Amino acid sequence: MKSPSVYLSEEMRKFRKPLVLALMGLFIALGIILTRILKPVDLPYLRVSFGFLATAFCSILLGPFLGGINAAIADIAGFFLFPTPSAFFFPGLTFSALITGVIYGVFLYKKPVTLLRVALAVLTVTVLIDMLLNTYWLSILLGQAWKVMFPLRALKAAVWYPVQVLVIYSLRRITKGKYTEI
């Protein structure tokens, strides 16, 4: 197993490649569009969007480190480009975005993309980030009790989980072999 410093230096070397920079910009733009513009449901403490696709595919192609950085930049840029009158910038939600990219990368980068592996990655993100961490951040941000928001957020997670798994798995199978080592 590589030491963290060796892994980090390898990941930072990727930043020198123009293709990686172009893909990062593409995934940031795609993440902003899918999260901030094309959102079927957007309530104060519940959002349904396809923004997970940009984070998942960036992490699959570029790894956990760049996937996490990409998700955090997309979150910050999306907030400032498309501000919501009743919302405030909250670093905790950006941290959640970063960890989401890392989780997808840990599960799916340079590994065979099986239905089980995708399901475990999405389950980890859904439980740890969406249901627990983001609900906690929103309770701080909105001043509502955690247990008031949790049931609706858990219902959304239960309904949205199979959709995320099937979409990521299906799209990855379509792109498999087309984008290998970057």
Amino acid at 166: L
* 81 vs 143, residue with greater confidence: 81
pLDDT at 73 over 70: yes
Q: Is residue 27 part of a domain?
A: yes
pLDDT at 180 over 70: no
Q: So what's the pLDDT on residue 103? A: 97
Number of domains in the chain: 1
CATH of residue 106: 1.10.1760.20
Q: Is residue 67 part of a domain?
A: yes
pLDDT at 166 over 80: yes
- Tracing tokens 């399901």 back to the chain, one arrives at 119
Q: Is residue 182 part of a domain?
A: no
Question: H-type helices in the chain, by residue range?
Answer: 4-13, 18-32, 52-62, 64-81, 91-108, 115-124, 134-142, 146-175
Q: How much is the average pLDDT of 50-78?
A: 94
Q: Is residue 181 part of a domain?
A: no
Q: DSSP letter for 89, please.
A: -
Q: Is residue 180 part of a domain?
A: no
Q: Is residue 11 part of a domain?
A: yes
pLDDT at 44 over 70: no
Q: DSSP letter for 90, please.
A: -
Contact 47, 135 (CB under 8 A): no
Please return the burial class of 32, using the count of CB atoms within 10 Å of its CB with bins 0-12, 13-18 and 19+: buried
**What range does the domain containing 128 cover?**
4-175
Q: Tell me the percentage of the chain whose pLDDT exceeds 70.
A: 92
Return the SS3 of 180: coil
Contact 123, 85 (CB under 8 A): no
Q: Is residue 128 part of a domain?
A: yes
* 30 vs 179, residue with greater confidence: 30
Residues 6+ apart with CB under 8 A from 175: 57
pLDDT at 74 over 60: yes
For residue 15, the tally of other CB atoms under 10 A from its CB is: 11
- Lowest mean per-residue pLDDT among 79-83, 84-88, 120-124, 133-137: 84-88
